[in-house]
Amino acid sequence: MPADVAEVFGTQWPRLVATLRADLGDLDLAEDAAQHAFAMATERWPVDGTPDSPGAWLVTVARRWAIDQARRDLRWARRVDDVRAALELPQRERGAITDDLLAMIFGCCHRALDEPARVALTLRYVVGLPTADIARSFLVAEATMAKRLVRAKKKIAAAKIPFEVPEREHLADSLHDVLKVVYVVFTQGHASPTGELIRGDLCDEARWLAGTLCDLMPDEPETWGLAALLAFTDARRPARLDADGEIVLLSDQDRSLWSADALDEGRRLFQRALRSRRVGPYALQAAIAAAHAEAPTFEDTDWATIRRLYAVLGTLEPSPVVTLNEAVAAFLAEGGDAGLEMLEPVASDLEQYHYFHLARADMLAQTGRADAAREAFDRALETCDSEAERRAIRRVAAERLAGPSA
């Protein structure tokens, strides 16, 4: 794909597919029409030059192709007049293009679909990621992912999942589903199941999605909170691996490598989230990330404040993982016994979670219980699937168990 077409693809693909889906009411036809338009752009633009309005050019070409397909395809033959009429409607009579894009996002993230299907549909039809790249994220073959996407689209049709922005009274719940999908995409970028320690493309796409939601829904503070959280977290990306590609723990990261641009962006987004005076779970997590970002060193981090923020988060969205994070903050603010006391109630819930055993081992080592710490480090290794993380656990275990407190 020529560079200018590729650049336009990044900005116009989601809007083009969303517009065509709204026109045609069919995701497959919309995607095929959009792909045809970009294929034509690849042929024509290097010869004719890039049009003054690339987006409008793509919409026109895609609409003409869709009408031709409707004439040829028996499935659409009876609807050709309806298709033509819909495609010839002026934009203002169909609603703003941003409404189409929002409707596309809410449709792909609908709770009637399971979470992997939501993530895959969003990456394919909103972000425009190739099926092969999505398959790589899920550790499956491209053909398998293609079948999954087909099944998800059939479920959308069978369940009559609406592609529309929910009414105000249902918006909060639906938006929560959308934001969760964006967050899952980001976490796959930072802890990819493929074994890649960082997939920058997924992190970038998640941040783009979060920013797009801020633009489309500026009055929803949680969109700003999520965007801030992702910016603060992604700022650490340059420092997360050493020269040999090994994991560098937060406590050992060179903070001068953290992206200043991402930190500034995080601060701007976080301030915008706070302006609404309605603080939700993502804004709280952004506040925690901001506390890490503003600390000059790991030792100078305001752990007491971070513990209080996790406590508030636990009242809004209680979960064993939130309790674990609060326990770690308590450990660093008040000592190992404070952290261990908090871990007891969630021990059975997190038995298969290696971060639980790693944190507990660290606390036990700090309080001088070397044998118990050794057992906990061993359990962390047993429950960890990533070889890179297992190497990091072994390094931490060697350091802690050799320390004076052990």
Residues 330-345 pLDDT 10s: 999 999 999 999 999 9
Distance CA 231, CA 212 (A): 14
| Predicted confidence band of residue 309 (pLDDT cuts 50, 70, 90) | very high
Residue in 323, 336, 344 with CA at minimum distance from that of residue 362 = 336
Q: Residue for token digits 């033959």? A: 77
Are 250 and 292 contacting, i.e. CB atoms less than 8 angstroms apart?
A: yes
Distance CA 371, CA 365 (A): 9
Q: How many CA atoms lie within 13 A of 129 on its CB side?
A: 27
What is the DSSP-derived secondary structure letter of residue 210?
H
Strands (E), 114-196: none
Mean pLDDT of 393-398: 95
Is it the case that residue 96 has pLDDT exceeding 60?
no
Residues 330-387 pLDDT 10s: 999 999 999 999 999 999 999 999 999 999 999 999 999 999 999 999 999 999 988 8
Residues 162-182 pLDDT 10s: 888 888 777 888 898 899 999
Distance CA 171, CA 218 (A): 14
Is it the case that residue 66 has pLDDT exceeding 90?
no
**Reduced to 3 states, what is the DSSP secondary structure of residue 241?**
strand
Assigned token pair, 308:
């209080």
- Mean pLDDT for all residues in the chain: 87
**Reduced to 3 states, what is the DSSP secondary structure of residue 247?**
strand
Is it the case that residue 195 has pLDDT exceeding 70?
no
Assigned token pair, 227:
């965007």
Are 351 and 324 contacting, i.e. CB atoms less than 8 angstroms apart?
A: no
